[in-house]
Amino acid sequence: MTKDEKLFNSGVLTQSRPGAELPPTELWNKKKNGLVIIECPQQIPCNPCYSSCPTGAVLPFNKIIDVPRIDYTKCIGCSLCVATCPGLACFVVDLTYGSEEEALMKLPYEMLPRPEIGEQVNCLNRIGEVVAQGKVVDINEPRKDCTLVVHVVVPNDLVNEIRAVRVVK
């Protein structure tokens, strides 16, 4: 089974590919407020990430089914695309936050119970397994539509794995 077949059959991203690429290291390690990562590798008719981006970092689509492309030099880590994406495929990673061992991730959250600032949460990988604990340091609702953007301090070495959080009550 090819990598494309695995993605199509399971929905779990198994490698970097167009529409699901990491930011360039030289920018990612220096950009205050972080850079967006969009993991949207399948061609579907959707473009809210583009239409919500205030700086033009998400580049225009030639066709509505194009996968997102990003100009990382324009990204300011605002997380509007995180709150807008109906597939919860956008998140922001700030590698300049805290110490060398910590990073800040801005993740979409639409579940109950809602997290609280200061709370420890389970950090989940792409298949829902707990891979770390994180601490919620901020929560906002940029679009006022019940999609929260939860700011979580996570282990720096796991930012390529963590894709969601779960409240532990």
Query: Does residue 7 have a pLDDT over 90?
Result: no
> pLDDT tens digits, residue range 85-124?
999 999 999 999 988 899 999 999 999 999 999 999 999 9
**What does the alpha-carbon distance between residue 64 and residue 79 come to, in Å, rounded to a whole number?**
22
> pLDDT tens digits, residue range 118-152?
999 999 999 999 999 999 999 999 888 888 999 99
pLDDT classification of 162: cutoffs 50, 70, 90: very high
Average pLDDT across the chain, whole number = 89
With residues binned 3-state (H G I as helix, E B as strand, rest as coil), the percentages for the chain, rounded to 5, are 15, 30, 55
**What does the alpha-carbon distance between residue 149 and residue 102 come to, in Å, rounded to a whole number?**
19
**What does the alpha-carbon distance between residue 25 and residue 30 come to, in Å, rounded to a whole number?**
9
pLDDT at site 16 = 64
Instruction: Give 21-57 as a DSSP string.
Output: -PPPHHHHTT-TT-EEEE---S--S--HHHHH-SSS-
165 compared with 7, residue with greater pLDDT: 165
